[in-house]
A and B are shown apart, each in its own frame.
Chain A
Amino acid sequence: MSVKKKTRFEVLGKPRRRVDARAKVTGLTKFADDIVLARMLHMKLLRSPHPHAVIESIDVTKAAAHPGVHLVLSGKDFPITFGILPVSQDEYPLANERVRYVGDPVAAVVAKDEQTAWEACELIEVKYRPLATISSSEEALATPEPRIHEHGEQGNIHRLQAFEFGDVDAALAKSDHVFEDLFFYEGNTHLPIEQHAAVAAPDGEGKLTLWSSTQVPHYIHRALARALRMNAAHIRVIACPNGGGFGGKCDLHNHEIVVSRAALKLARPVKICLNREEVFYMHRGRHPVLMRMRTGVTKEGKLTGMHVQTLLDGGGYGGYGAASTFYTGALQTVTYELPRYKFDACRTFTNKPPCGPKRGHGTPQPRFGQEVQLDKIAEKLKLDPAEFRLGMVAKPNSLTANWLRIGSIGLEECIRRVVALSDWKNRFRKLPEGRGLGLACGSYLCGAGLPIYWNKMPQSGVQLLLDRSGQVTAFCGATEIGQGSDDVLAAIIAEVLGIDPYDVRLVTGDTGLTPVDLGSYSSRVTVMMGNAAIQAAERLREMLADAAAEQLVTIPDRLVFSQSRVFLAEDPAKGMSFAEAVVYAETKFGTLGSVGSYVPPRAPGRYKGAGVGPSPAYSYTACVVEVEVDKATGWISVPKVWIAHDIGRTINPVLARGQVEGSVYMALGEALMEEQVFRRLPPKMSGALVHKFPSLLEYKSLTSLDMPEVVTELVEDPDPNCPFGAKEAGQGPLLPVMPAVANAIYDAVGVRIDELPITPDKVLKALELKSQGKNPRVGPEKFPQVPYPTPIFVPPPWEGGDGNEVKKNDALAVV
């Protein structure tokens, strides 16, 4: 029997101590900064105090002569640009001629200790010629010169994208109602408690090893080969367990390249650990996004079409930005039935730290807008927001307007559960003034369908080695960032082989030893690594079953692998230990090993741009948030959250619940307080654009005193593309929480706050407007002129076409 059809599990679904828990609670987990090597030196980076300037000269003479200094590097040592995406190779490891944000690295000092390296950094003399700076998307659109980068669309516009799936204007014209709203989602940052660290060391043969707090060792490996002009086979990147990632350790970081160069040059280990202020400035977090949404509905409450426009403030470099830009539109279609969809997006360059992927990558912003707008629509149509959504949930095994293939969808069940648990029907719009309930939904990828650089190779590989002692060792490039990828790997192999997850030895995240897994991003690990692990384990199981069947004089199909034994299904006493089966199999086949790999299914969209959005499966979440709003102070407290997440299949409920609750926590921070914002210093202090509060104390996040009670429900709607049906749980559950908070505030005090974070001052302002009889809304008032291009026109699947672009007029003639 194929294990994929298995429905009764020995490991999956049972609460279990994660396989790496003991090291975490004893302090033995080795994070990057915990690595100490003999003769190790320490590196520090000198960073730009200017948001935009030309570097006229750098004099490192004094720094190099400082006692204890071993090496000083600057831009001239790094002639090659880098960037995570092939289309945005626009950064230098150390700034070449220009700096583009406060914090852009300019020089590096390697010294006997950190203190000496800091002292020497201050001795480096850099002459800057300041340039005009750009602080927002609006300013970027209005200020084409000076250009922050020579690449990009025009002026200070980095990316422009436009797609139209069916004639949206026609659909809106025929709608009973059209709703138009503007929303703004402020940027915020990942704030992992572990600051980024990296250690580089040449080995005895001159080959390089880099240990880093990274979510993407494979991409770092590729980038290092290019940046150092070195044979990739002589570079080994080891991803240390991350002390929290959330997307903040997904990009290539300057210090990873610089510390590698320094170690090679000095032929001894070099370490760098960033301080907290540097982590704030390195950022790569949530883009600030301004949005306009026009949505048509019938009077019965069915969507007819939607037009989404987004404007992203990208900061000083490309990074993941091109992908982030796509994601502000790509997943608006997978939650509800939407006949037609149009999406325009624009990303600008500004003189602030670059933005990038954070939990939900580009999708929480439009999800916030969409779910708040749906709440407004329900109100206007006098529909219950839950019933309204239940009436239009996307169908399983269907295609969306933008040609994404949906598999299983447990959203209806999720909505029903949070409605029942929160006593929604008796409490929504019925609570006393100042208290309210809000509902919202969301969905997310289970892995991006395409890799960052396009190819047809597997996106995840697992290699298994069986020792004659019975020991199973699994090798996989997947990266443990706290989410439990090691536990998922061990659990899936154990389930297939009938052993205990604790008995699986793991070697992960090491480009020198493990098959490629692309990294811990886009919620891809459970699905991609999991499928690869099943394949590898099944191949081994077949060999073990063959050998054991021969001994037991039966056929392999009659054997059961369970509790570290292999035995006859009809007579469990007849069998052998797992280790004995390994010995028979090694005797029969020779040294035992196997590999498994995973390539996601090809997506049906054929148009240019169809590569962003496809996923092997989508997870779904529904959430109800209860708030209390103090009308005198505007203070918002959240006593309780109910959340139901369609996880497909639960691998370890302890970890799954932790992912959901951690998402709720981070989402409440984004909804109520977290913001990565900048201020200008006074002109006499250079007028620089600096981070408003680059400290953990001033950048507000929820503490244990702010965290509400959370009721978590895991809904299991297994998806055939997923390992045993298991979908993601790490990002999707964040998405519905922010709009549910906004909707609950409306229920509580009747004001709409159409921008995040929702702080007490905004609530007070809206209450004031309400008392004056004005529109009780706080949010963006206008959307600037953006030169969006003519959209790529693709008829949705139900209007003919084959997923390719067509000329709009030809398509309309057919319809």
Chain B
Amino acid sequence: MNAVRMRLRVNGEEQEILFHPYKTLLEVLREDLNLTGTKHGCELGECGACAVLVDGQPLLSCLELALECEGRHIETVEGLQQGDKLHPLQSAFADLGGAQCGYCTPGILMTAKALLGQEPNPSRERIREAISGNLCRCTGYLQIYESIEEAARRMREAA
């Protein structure tokens, strides 16, 4: 199979890549762009570890062909931090135990970012719904909810 050449916009940067067209967005991010912050847990769309934002919406990068992402705006965990400043979600997760092993964390951070983008003050119920597609085996989710609530509070205060 011949490789294809394509331009991809990741975390605001234009990237030109040469890749096999059967590759998923997850594989291209991790293997061709070395953005290993995005994780995989099943490659079947079951665990949410690979969630990234495409045009602001959470998307399971293991189910999306990279070919379909031409010209779309892709955000990964590597793009959350602004310079040396952590995103409020990142600092809340770090402070409040939202990340234990840290493996599901990038996917949950991106999903939560999309949620807070739409709802600056989500209820606990809305948070539970929003991350119900992201499996975490360590925390029991409660410290994740608290981290998202704290981040939302900090973001509202800063706004």
Inter-subunit contact B41/A710 (CB<8 Å): no
Given contacts A24-B105, A276-B42, contact A661 B140 (CB under 8 A): yes
Inter-subunit contact A193/B142 (CB<8 Å): no
Checking A27, A190, A709, A710 against B37 with a beta-carbon cut-off of 8 angstroms, the contacting residue is A27
Inter-subunit contact B135/A481 (CB<8 Å): no
Inter-subunit contact A483/B132 (CB<8 Å): no
> Which residues in B have their C-beta under 8 angstroms from that of A666?
137, 140
Inter-subunit contact B47/A707 (CB<8 Å): no
CB of A657 within 8 A of chain B?
yes
Of B53-61, B63-71, B77-85, B115-123, the one contacting chain A is B77-85
Given contacts A662-B139, A705-B129, contact A695 B44 (CB under 8 A): yes
Inter-subunit contact B138/A695 (CB<8 Å): no
> Which residues in B have their C-beta under 8 angstroms from that of A24?
93-94, 99, 101-102, 105
> Which residues in B have their C-beta under 8 angstroms from that of A242?
101
Complex CA–CA separation, A33 to B40 (angstroms): 10
Checking A246, A696, A704 against B44 with a beta-carbon cut-off of 8 angstroms, the contacting residue is A696
Max chain A CB contacts within 10 Å: which of B89, B100, B134?
Answer: B100
Of A15-23, A314-322, A628-636, the one contacting chain B is A15-23
Q: Classify the interface of chain B: helix, strand, loop or mixed.
A: loop
Complex CA–CA separation, A707 to B136 (angstroms): 11
Interface residues on A, range: 35 or more
Binary B-proximity of A6-31 (CB < 8 A = 1, otherwise 0):
00000000000110111111111111
CB of A654 within 8 A of chain B?
yes
Max chain B CB contacts within 10 Å: which of A31, A662, A709?
Answer: A662
Inter-subunit contact B144/A26 (CB<8 Å): no
Inter-subunit contact A27/B138 (CB<8 Å): no
Inter-subunit contact A704/B128 (CB<8 Å): yes
> Which residues in B have their C-beta under 8 angstroms from that of A21?
93-95, 99
> Which residues in B have their C-beta under 8 angstroms from that of A658?
97, 100, 138-140, 143
Complex CA–CA separation, A191 to B89 (angstroms): 26
Q: How far is the CB of B97 from chain A (nearest CB, A)?
A: 4
Given contacts A21-B94, A26-B80, A193-B136, contact A704 B141 (CB under 8 A): yes
Inter-subunit contact A704/B46 (CB<8 Å): no
Complex CA–CA separation, A696 to B136 (angstroms): 12
CB of B150 within 8 A of chain A?
no
Q: How far is the CB of A7 from chain B (nearest CB, A)?
A: 26
> Which residues in B have their C-beta under 8 angstroms from that of A772?
none
> Which residues in B have their C-beta under 8 angstroms from that of A27?
35-38, 76-78, 105-106
Residue of A nearest to B107 (CB): A193
Checking A20, A190, A275, A664 against B43 with a beta-carbon cut-off of 8 angstroms, the contacting residue is A275
Given contacts A27-B76, A658-B139, contact A194 B94 (CB under 8 A): no
Inter-subunit contact B47/A696 (CB<8 Å): yes
> Which residues in A have their C-beta under 8 angstroms from that of B80?
26
Q: How far is the CB of B20 from chain A (nearest CB, A)?
A: 8
Inter-subunit contact B109/A705 (CB<8 Å): no
Complex CA–CA separation, A661 to B106 (angstroms): 21
Checking B109, B138, B141 against A25 with a beta-carbon cut-off of 8 angstroms, the contacting residue is B109
Q: How far is the CB of B104 from chain A (nearest CB, A)?
A: 5
CB of A484 within 8 A of chain B?
yes
Inter-subunit contact A697/B101 (CB<8 Å): no
Checking B36, B90, B128, B135 against A701 with a beta-carbon cut-off of 8 angstroms, the contacting residue is B135
Count of chain B residues with a beta carbon within 8 Å of a chain A beta carbon: 59
Binary B-proximity of A242-262 (CB < 8 A = 1, otherwise 0):
111110000000000000000
Checking A20, A22, A190, A655 against B86 with a beta-carbon cut-off of 8 angstroms, the contacting residue is A22
Interface positions of A from 631 to 681, Cβ below 8 Å from B: 654-655, 657-658, 661-666
Checking A26, A194, A697 against B103 with a beta-carbon cut-off of 8 angstroms, the contacting residue is A194
Residue of A nearest to B136 (CB): A193
Inter-subunit contact A34/B47 (CB<8 Å): no
CB of B96 within 8 A of chain A?
yes
Complex CA–CA separation, A666 to B42 (angstroms): 19
Q: How far is the CB of B27 from chain A (nearest CB, A)?
A: 9
Inter-subunit contact A657/B99 (CB<8 Å): no
> Which residues in B have their C-beta under 8 angstroms from that of A661?
139-140, 142-143
CB of A195 within 8 A of chain B?
yes
Interface positions of B from 11 to 69, Cβ below 8 Å from A: 20, 22, 30, 34-44, 46-47, 49
> Which residues in A have their C-beta under 8 angstroms from that of B91?
25
Complex CA–CA separation, A697 to B42 (angstroms): 9
CB of A703 within 8 A of chain B?
yes
Inter-subunit contact A193/B128 (CB<8 Å): no
Checking B40, B86, B101, B140 against A664 with a beta-carbon cut-off of 8 angstroms, the contacting residue is B140
Binary B-proximity of A261-301 (CB < 8 A = 1, otherwise 0):
00000000000000110000000000000000000000000
> Which residues in B have their C-beta under 8 angstroms from that of A34?
30, 36
Residue of B nearest to A242 (CB): B101
Given contacts A29-B102, A193-B39, contact A482 B44 (CB under 8 A): no
Q: How far is the CB of B36 from chain A (nearest CB, A)?
A: 4
Residue of A nearest to B131 (CB): A704
CB of A241 within 8 A of chain B?
yes
CB of A192 within 8 A of chain B?
yes
Max chain A CB contacts within 10 Å: which of B109, B127, B133, B143?
Answer: B143
CB of A36 within 8 A of chain B?
yes
> Which residues in A have their C-beta under 8 angstroms from that of B77?
26-27
> Which residues in B have their C-beta under 8 angstroms from that of A654?
95-97, 143
Max chain B CB contacts within 10 Å: which of A17, A193, A484, A665?
Answer: A193
Interface positions of A from 461 to 505, Cβ below 8 Å from B: 481-484
Inter-subunit contact B39/A31 (CB<8 Å): yes
Inter-subunit contact A705/B132 (CB<8 Å): yes
Residue of A nearest to B37 (CB): A27
Q: How far is the CB of B100 from chain A (nearest CB, A)?
A: 4
Inter-subunit contact A707/B141 (CB<8 Å): yes
Interface positions of A from 20 to 78, Cβ below 8 Å from B: 20-31, 33-34, 36
Complex CA–CA separation, A86 to B22 (angstroms): 46
Residue of B nearest to A194 (CB): B103
Inter-subunit contact B140/A482 (CB<8 Å): no
Complex CA–CA separation, A242 to B104 (angstroms): 12
Given contacts A25-B109, A483-B100, A655-B97, contact A697 B46 (CB under 8 A): yes
Inter-subunit contact B139/A665 (CB<8 Å): yes
Interface positions of A from 190 to 232, Cβ below 8 Å from B: 190-195
Checking A17, A22, A241, A663 against B101 with a beta-carbon cut-off of 8 angstroms, the contacting residue is A241
> Which residues in A have their C-beta under 8 angstroms from that of B132?
703-705
Given contacts A193-B39, A665-B139, contact A241 B97 (CB under 8 A): no
Inter-subunit contact A695/B38 (CB<8 Å): no
> Which residues in A have their C-beta under 8 angstroms from that of B131?
704
> Which residues in B have their C-beta under 8 angstroms from that of A190?
137
Inter-subunit contact A17/B94 (CB<8 Å): yes
Checking B76, B78, B137 against A244 with a beta-carbon cut-off of 8 angstroms, the contacting residue is B137
Binary B-proximity of A714-731 (CB < 8 A = 1, otherwise 0):
000000000000000000
Residue of B nearest to A665 (CB): B140
Given contacts A25-B94, A27-B38, A194-B103, contact A246 B140 (CB under 8 A): no
Inter-subunit contact B141/A665 (CB<8 Å): yes
Complex CA–CA separation, A689 to B91 (angstroms): 47
> Which residues in A have their C-beta under 8 angstroms from that of B104?
193, 243
Checking A25, A484, A697 against B105 with a beta-carbon cut-off of 8 angstroms, the contacting residue is A25
Complex CA–CA separation, A193 to B106 (angstroms): 12
Complex CA–CA separation, A214 to B155 (angstroms): 38
Inter-subunit contact A657/B39 (CB<8 Å): no
In the complex, 12 of the A-B residue pairs with CB atoms within 8 angstroms, ordered by the A residue number, are A21-B93, A25-B91, A33-B36, A191-B137, A193-B41, A194-B39, A244-B138, A663-B140, A665-B140, A666-B140, A704-B144, A707-B142
Given A25-B109, A26-B37, A244-B101, list of 12 further CB < 8 A pairs?
Answer: A22-B90, A25-B91, A25-B93, A34-B36, A115-B20, A191-B137, A193-B47, A193-B101, A194-B103, A243-B102, A244-B103, A275-B43
**In the complex, the 6 A-B pairs of residues with the closest C-beta atoms, listed nearest first:** A27-B37, A482-B101, A24-B102, A243-B103, A665-B140, A21-B94
Task: Give B contacts to A, CB under 8 Å.
Answer: 20, 22, 30, 34-44, 46-47, 49, 76-78, 80-81, 86, 89-91, 93-106, 109, 127-129, 131-145
